[in-house]
Chains A and B, each alone.
Chain A
Amino acid sequence: MSVLAQRSTATLSISEAEYQKFCEFFYRRTGISFGDNKRYFVDKRLIGRIEKTGASGVEDYFERLRRRDASGEIEALINLLTINETYFYREDHQLDCLVNGILPELVAGRRKGDRIRIWSMPSSTGEEPYSIAIYLLENWPQVDDYDIEIMASDIDTNVLRAAEAGVYDARSLHRLSPALARKYFVTAGADGFRLIDAIRRSVRFNKVNASDAAEMAAFVNIDVIFCRNMLIYFDDRSRRQVVESFYDSLGDGGFICLGHSESMSRISSLFAVRKFPQAIVYQKSGGPR
């Protein structure tokens, strides 16, 4: 434990009651629970933020978190407490849900050749939208029957550029079988793997700021949105507005998938909860409920 200069010999520690209180607050705010076995993990990061923000202690830090002008503090904390990494076929149970649950429902009323619009936002360095493309090719028998459009958006032009280049390291591919890796990648440099052109061309990348309703309004009649591990970083107000934009972008009966530790229960009641064997997703249900 580190010693704070202004506290002379006192070292900062989190009491049992403080831990409980923090967990209750965090659960209420985000829906994420920490068990007692996460004590060390949480304490360490909480103390880190208390020191970084110059709060005088847990109490003071806590009050800061509650303020509406918390200026990204709760987001910084969430960032520390959740694990974020991106790689191919991450949370592939959702891709399974796409192929075996969502798409069959969506195409039930469609003709061959009709368009299906899938939107990955944020797309980050591209693993997610490219995973969708590969997974569909590998697992959906009807993939050639429809005109599938995969759009991918992010606010960061650096990651968009990297995504378009389509070069990844072994860590990004760790969930892919060697057969899949061989089929869709060629080696690039010492330890790089470049996605084959056919896949790279199948995704269209755009720079989009999720908080800009006008930019978001350009996306219409979307069938499926993958928005994983983005909303969790937004404050209440921005989050609601982004979700409203998504709602407006979806066509009737369209679906949205969030990250595994995320839930609409802390964001909005606009969507219906849909349970598939592979995953829980949310649907813009047509007509009155």
Chain B
Amino acid sequence: MNVHVISPAASAADRFAAQILVVDDATVVRLYYRQILEQQGYRVEEAINGIEGLEKAVQTPFDLCIVDVNMPMMDGYTFLHALRREPITHAVPALMTTSEAGVEDHHAALKAGANAYLVKPVARDQLALYVAVLLGRSVA
């Protein structure tokens, strides 16, 4: 994938301000993403299901949400629908992840309000790339 996105405001300093919410019920997944994202200079917060994700999302101005499909209490699709309905979080970019790989699932994710969709397991540079693009950072 060749992507070249430049945001006028993007700079090294901006990168350190970005806050990312990781919503996934697997501990090792959250740890993995945290390690990658913190290395990139982002700040990370975690949630274990869609309800907690929503509670955190409405309280903190996240620049991006990474959300998995299968979670207890509230799944990823329901979370996204709620995120899009809520005025405060309506426009927050969202990256959906899933173990499933069907085209229907990709469409479902986009329809639910995801900006992009990744199939697990997610490679390090793949995550970094998608996050950078969704944050409007230069990836040149």
| A263 and B74 in contact, given A24-B27, A273-B58, A280-B59 (Cβ under 8 angstroms) | no
- Report the separation of the CA atoms of residues A15 and B74 in the bound assembly, to the nearest whole angstrom: 34
A263 touches B59 (CB 8 A): no
- Report the separation of the CA atoms of residues A280 and B57 in the bound assembly, to the nearest whole angstrom: 11
Taking residues whose C-beta sits less than 8 angstroms from the other chain, chain A's interface range is 10 to 19
| A28 and B27 in contact, given A264-B51, A275-B86, A280-B59 (Cβ under 8 angstroms) | yes
A263 touches B52 (CB 8 A): yes
In B13-56, the 8 Å CB interface with A consists of 27, 47-49, 51-52, 54-55
- Report the separation of the CA atoms of residues A111 and B49 in the bound assembly, to the nearest whole angstrom: 40
In the bound complex, residues from chain A placing their C-beta under 8 Å from that of B54 are: 273
Q: Is A265 at the interface (CB under 8 A from chain B)?
A: yes
In the bound complex, residues from chain B placing their C-beta under 8 Å from that of A264 are: 51
Listed residue (A28, A264, A273) with the most chain B CB atoms within 10 angstroms of its CB: A273
For B89, the closest partner residue in chain A by CB is A275
Q: Is B110 at the interface (CB under 8 A from chain A)?
A: no
Which one of A31, A268, A275 lies within 8 Å of B59 (CB-CB)?
A275
Nearest-Cβ distance from residue A24 to partner chain B, whole angstroms: 5
Q: Is A27 at the interface (CB under 8 A from chain B)?
A: yes
| A265 and B73 in contact, given A28-B27, A273-B51, A273-B82 (Cβ under 8 angstroms) | yes
A265 touches B55 (CB 8 A): yes
B51 touches A263 (CB 8 A): yes
- Report the separation of the CA atoms of residues A268 and B50 in the bound assembly, to the nearest whole angstrom: 12
Q: Is B108 at the interface (CB under 8 A from chain A)?
A: no
Q: Is A269 at the interface (CB under 8 A from chain B)?
A: yes
For A272, the closest partner residue in chain B by CB is B82
- Report the separation of the CA atoms of residues A268 and B27 in the bound assembly, to the nearest whole angstrom: 21
Which one of A24, A31, A268 lies within 8 Å of B52 (CB-CB)?
A31
A275 touches B88 (CB 8 A): yes
A28 touches B58 (CB 8 A): no
- Report the separation of the CA atoms of residues A265 and B75 in the bound assembly, to the nearest whole angstrom: 12
Per-position contact with B for A259-286: 1 when CB-CB < 8 Å, else 0?
A: 0000111101100010100001000000
| A265 and B58 in contact, given A24-B27, A275-B86 (Cβ under 8 angstroms) | no
- Report the separation of the CA atoms of residues A31 and B47 in the bound assembly, to the nearest whole angstrom: 9
- Report the separation of the CA atoms of residues A27 and B30 in the bound assembly, to the nearest whole angstrom: 13
Which one of B47, B48, B49, B58 lies within 8 Å of A280 (CB-CB)?
B58
In the bound complex, residues from chain A placing their C-beta under 8 Å from that of B88 are: 275
In the bound complex, residues from chain B placing their C-beta under 8 Å from that of A265 are: 47-49, 51-52, 55, 73-74
A273 touches B48 (CB 8 A): no
In the bound complex, residues from chain A placing their C-beta under 8 Å from that of B52 are: 31, 263, 265-266
For A264, the closest partner residue in chain B by CB is B51
B59 touches A269 (CB 8 A): no
A269 touches B58 (CB 8 A): no
- Report the separation of the CA atoms of residues A161 and B85 in the bound assembly, to the nearest whole angstrom: 46
- Report the separation of the CA atoms of residues A273 and B79 in the bound assembly, to the nearest whole angstrom: 11
A269 touches B48 (CB 8 A): no
In the bound complex, residues from chain B placing their C-beta under 8 Å from that of A31 are: 48, 52
In the bound complex, residues from chain A placing their C-beta under 8 Å from that of B55 are: 263, 265, 273, 280
17 contacts between A and B (CB under 8 A): A24-B27, A27-B48, A28-B48, A31-B48, A263-B52, A263-B55, A265-B52, A266-B52, A269-B73, A269-B74, A273-B51, A273-B55, A275-B58, A275-B86, A280-B55, A280-B58, A280-B59
Q: Which residues of B contact A (CB under 8 A)?
A: 27, 47-49, 51-52, 54-55, 58-59, 73-74, 82, 86, 88
Shortest beta-carbon contacts, A-B, top 7:
A265-B52, A265-B51, A275-B58, A273-B54, A269-B73, A24-B27, A265-B49
Q: A31-B48, A265-B47, A269-B74 are in contact. List 9 more A-B contacts (CB 8 A).
A: A27-B48, A28-B48, A264-B51, A265-B49, A266-B73, A273-B51, A273-B54, A280-B58, A280-B59
